């Protein structure tokens, strides 16, 4: 590859990543999610416009999203921890099990095709969407979180596994788990920031290892993690997310849940159509 063609490819990729950051930042702020559930499908589309090989496009989208979670999750966790609202006992119980689920997911993802990863994302996104659309405040599985170490270990491993396969920080899964057992949402959100850190560190390392030497990766990729994507999108989302937050405050919470559910169904449908 000549220097001119490499420079052009880098410029096209940078433009696509900036567009992804602008869109995902606003949508993440609007819907109150960490961004992964929004960023992965946006990433997939813009990387396609940049000419990235479809065989690795979904892997890059998920892995880079995981890398982007890391600085934002750590920053958020420190802020929540300073306020004393994080359930540290729950996080300490998951300190081994979430990373184990993450490592298992990166191993599985490395052996799945792009089509397989899109199918997994579509199925899990549809389940999230249905929960958002039909959610009721009265839904409860119990008055407090299960005390059994076996149950907690299994839940942590599942959260780590499914979140990593989708390139998300675990907030949707952990928030659902904690609120179904009567925990207040603000505590669930605060604890999810710690979950994001437990997912992002081993997830980023795992995707680097899994994608090492794989052909078809775009420039400035470390395994499946695109360093340009991480460097460009983190500051962009920090700037654009408040725009979405302002839009969110203008809409009722229940309407936001329904809108986010519809968004996820549209994303899932788009991925399903791309498989045909």
Contacts of 15 (CB under 8 A, 6+ apart): 50
Q: Of 58, 59, 91, which is closest to residue 77 (Cα–Cα)?
A: 91
- C-alpha 195/C-alpha 197 separation (Å) is 5
Confidence of residue 98 (pLDDT cuts 50, 70, 90): very high
Over the chain, what is the mean pLDDT?
Answer: 82
Please say if the pLDDT value at position 71 is more than 70.
Answer: yes
pLDDT at 9 > cutoff 70? no
State the average pLDDT over residues 27-56.
74
Ranked by mean pLDDT, the top range of 45-59, 89-103, 124-138, 192-206 is: 89-103
What is the percent of the chain with per-residue pLDDT over 90, rounded to a whole number?
26
Lowest mean pLDDT among 2-6, 40-44, 244-248: 2-6
pLDDT for the residue 207: 94
HSE-CB of 246 using CA atoms within 13 angstroms: 5
Read off the pTM. 0.82
Give the pLDDT score at 109.
92
Mention every residue, 6+ apart, whose C-beta is less than 8 A from residue 165: 62, 105, 108, 109, 117, 120, 121, 124
- Is residue 180 within 8 Å of residue 117, measured between CB atoms? no
74 pLDDT tier (thresholds 50, 70, 90): confident
Are the CB atoms for 264 and 125 separated by under 8 Å?
yes
Residue 166 has pLDDT above 90, yes or no: no
pLDDT band of residue 208 (cuts 50, 70, 90) is: very high
pLDDT bracket for residue 242 (50, 70, 90)? low
Distance between CA atoms of 232 and 245, rounded to whole angstroms? 21
């Amino acid at each position: 590859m000549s220097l001119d063609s490499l420079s052009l490819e880098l410029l096209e990729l940078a433009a696509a990543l900036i567009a992804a950051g602008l869109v995902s930042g606003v949508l993440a702020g609007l819907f109150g999610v960490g961004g992964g559930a929004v960023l992965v499908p946006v990433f997939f589309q813009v990387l396609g416009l940049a000419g990235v090989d479809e065989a690795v496009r979904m892997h890059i989208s998920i892995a880079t999203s995981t890398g982007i979670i890391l600085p934002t999750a750590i920053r958020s966790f420190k802020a929540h921890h300073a306020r004393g609202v994080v359930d540290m006992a729950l996080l300490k119980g998951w300190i081994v099990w979430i990373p184990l689920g993450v490592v298992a997911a990166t191993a599985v993802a490395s052996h799945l095709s792009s089509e397989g990863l899109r199918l997994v994302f579509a199925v899990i996104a549809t389940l999230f969407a249905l929960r958002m659309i039909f959610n009721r405040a009265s839904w409860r599985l119990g008055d407090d979180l299960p005390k059994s170490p076996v149950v907690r270990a299994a839940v942590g491993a599942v959260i780590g596994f499914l979140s990593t396969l989708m390139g998300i920080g675990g907030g949707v899964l952990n928030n659902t788990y904690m609120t179904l057992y009567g925990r207040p949402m603000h505590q669930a959100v605060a604890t999810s920031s710690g979950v994001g850190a437990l997912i992002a560190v081993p997830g980023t390392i795992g995707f680097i290892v899994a994608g090492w030497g794989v052909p078809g990766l775009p420039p400035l990729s470390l395994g499946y993690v695109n360093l340009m994507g991480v460097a460009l999108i983190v500051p962009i989302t920090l700037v654009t997310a408040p725009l979405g937050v302002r839009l969110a405050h203008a809409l009722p919470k229940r309407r936001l849940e329904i809108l986010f559910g519809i968004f996820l169904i549209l994303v899932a449908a788009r991925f399903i159509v791309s498989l045909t």
